[in-house]
């Protein structure tokens, strides 16, 4: 008992860097492998060193690297220094501000910019730029200044940030109540049969690859998620769709479209960087590789954002232009489609 008390006292001087709860479907897995699945850019060596130092806890008990994680276990990684995201540094970064007043700021995020600091990305994020632009941004429940929602690193487009505590609370409630408007443009592999449709299926962390989200249509895991889509254009082996989010889960559009067999074009994490549709001709393969070079990320853009202004009560809607890398890729597909039809 004394040993546990000593350990607890020792842990008081440590900072929590990561905390993960194993799902109910978790198969027994070594804790070092479990954490490798969860933490981007982590190395097995660093994780094993943390275990050796007694810094990995399962259900509040320090464990060795070969400890097996079981369903519902809570795994924490504690280290002697605070996480880098707690040491936020203001940086003078170029931010495309679409709108700003005393309560809110609407930003058009470029692809490649991480929204907030996290493991492996401690500088150059949107938050680093925002705290340079605005002093005393309110923090959300995750200690992330001003953030009401986020978009993935390689997704471009619109994001609203709160400048005051009351705006943060108001906007957070709008996102929770699903009264905001969010429209995305996505280029997906394959020809979608329907002109419009609805994808419904719980989204949660994949049980096979923890860096991916997966769809659980039975509803036994994950959180309820709904995506509405409308076809904008068709180009032989890819389709341009407009997506309307009813819910806002992590990787929602990416996971939902992979689930229905239409993975996002060049979405490396979900396998969209392979040639999933088309011919076996060398010329075609070369054409697709050229498209990948033109658009070196997933083809996803947060085009429209609408919300009720937290102070005035006015509904505001913002639109952003589809970025050059996506439009250039679409133009290539448009030309390819026209030329292919002429060949027949």
Active-site residue set: 152
User: 189 and 337: one domain?
Assistant: yes
Domain around 152:
85-177
Picking from 82, 106, 136, the residue at the C-terminal end of a domain is 82
User: 114 and 165: one domain?
Assistant: yes
User: 192 and 339: one domain?
Assistant: yes
User: 227 and 324: one domain?
Assistant: yes
User: 198 and 325: one domain?
Assistant: yes
The C-alpha angle 230, 271, 288, rounded to 5 degrees, equals 75
Q: In what order do the strands lie in the sheet with 15-21?
A: 15-21, 74-79, 56-58, 61-62
**Strands (DSSP E) along 47-169, which ranges?**
56-58, 61-62, 68-69, 74-79, 97-100, 104-109, 156-162
What pLDDT score was predicted for residue 259?
97
What pLDDT score was predicted for residue 6?
34
User: 132 and 274: one domain?
Assistant: no
Q: How many CA atoms lie within 13 A of 74 on its CB side?
A: 6
Task: State the CATH number of the domain containing residue 14.
Answer: 3.10.290.10
User: 154 and 284: one domain?
Assistant: no
User: 124 and 36: one domain?
Assistant: no
A 10 A CB-CB count for 79 gives 14
User: 70 and 173: one domain?
Assistant: no
Picking from 143, 177, 211, the residue at the C-terminal end of a domain is 177
User: 224 and 166: one domain?
Assistant: no
Q: What is the pLDDT along the chain (344 residues), one digit of tens a residue?
A: 333 333 332 334 566 778 889 888 888 999 988 888 877 667 778 888 888 888 899 998 889 989 999 999 999 887 766 565 556 788 899 999 999 999 999 999 999 999 987 766 778 899 999 989 988 888 776 667 888 999 999 999 999 999 999 999 999 999 999 999 999 999 999 999 999 999 999 999 888 877 889 999 888 888 999 999 999 999 999 999 999 999 999 999 999 999 999 999 999 999 999 999 999 999 999 999 999 999 999 999 999 999 999 999 999 999 999 999 999 999 999 999 998 865 54
What pLDDT score was predicted for residue 321?
96
Task: State the CATH number of the domain containing residue 133.
Answer: 3.30.2350.10
C-beta separation of 204 from 23 below 8 A: yes
User: 15 and 89: one domain?
Assistant: no
User: 137 and 48: one domain?
Assistant: no
Picking from 51, 82, 113, the residue at the C-terminal end of a domain is 82
Number of domains in the chain: 3
What pLDDT score was predicted for residue 143?
64
């Amino acid at each position: 008992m004394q040993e546990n008390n000593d350990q607890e006292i020792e842990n008081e001087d440590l900072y929590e860097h990561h905390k993960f709860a194993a799902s109910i479907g978790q198969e027994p897995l070594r804790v070092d492998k479990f954490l490798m699945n969860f933490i981007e850019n982590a190395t097995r060596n660093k994780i094993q060193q943390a275990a050796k130092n007694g810094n990995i806890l399962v259900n509040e008990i320090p464990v060795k690297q070969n400890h097996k994680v079981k369903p519902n276990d809570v795994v924490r990684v504690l280290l002697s220094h605070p996480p880098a995201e707690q040491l936020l540094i203001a940086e003078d970064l170029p931010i495309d501000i679409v709108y700003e007043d005393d309560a809110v700021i609407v930003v058009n995020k470029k692809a490649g910019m991480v929204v907030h600091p996290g493991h492996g990305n401690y500088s150059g994020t949107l938050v680093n730029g925002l705290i340079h632009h605005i002093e005393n941004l309110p923090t959300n429940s995750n200690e992330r200044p001003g953030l009401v929602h986020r978009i993935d690193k390689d997704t471009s487009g619109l994001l609203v940030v709160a400048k005051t505590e009351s705006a943060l609370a108001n906007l957070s409630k709008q996102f929770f109540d699903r009264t905001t408007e969010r429209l995305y443009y996505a280029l997906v592999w394959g020809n979608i049969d329907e002109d419009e449709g609805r994808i419904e299926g719980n989204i949660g962390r994949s049980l096979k690859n923890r860096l991916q989200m997966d769809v659980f249509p039975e509803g036994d895991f994950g959180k309820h998620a709904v995506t509405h889509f409308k076809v904008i254009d068709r180009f032989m082996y890819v389709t341009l769709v407009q997506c309307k989010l009813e819910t806002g889960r992590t990787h929602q559009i990416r996971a939902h479209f992979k689930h229905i067999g239409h993975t996002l074009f060049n979405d490396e994490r979900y396998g969209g960087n392979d040639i999933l549709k088309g011919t076996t001709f060398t010329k075609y393969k070369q054409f697709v590789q050229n498209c990948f070079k033109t658009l070196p990320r997933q083809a996803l853009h947060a085009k429209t954002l609408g919300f009720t202004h937290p102070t005035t009560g006015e509904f505001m809607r913002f639109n952003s232009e589809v970025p050059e890398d996506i439009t250039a890729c679409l133009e290539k597909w448009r030309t390819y489609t026209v030329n292919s039809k002429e060949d027949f």
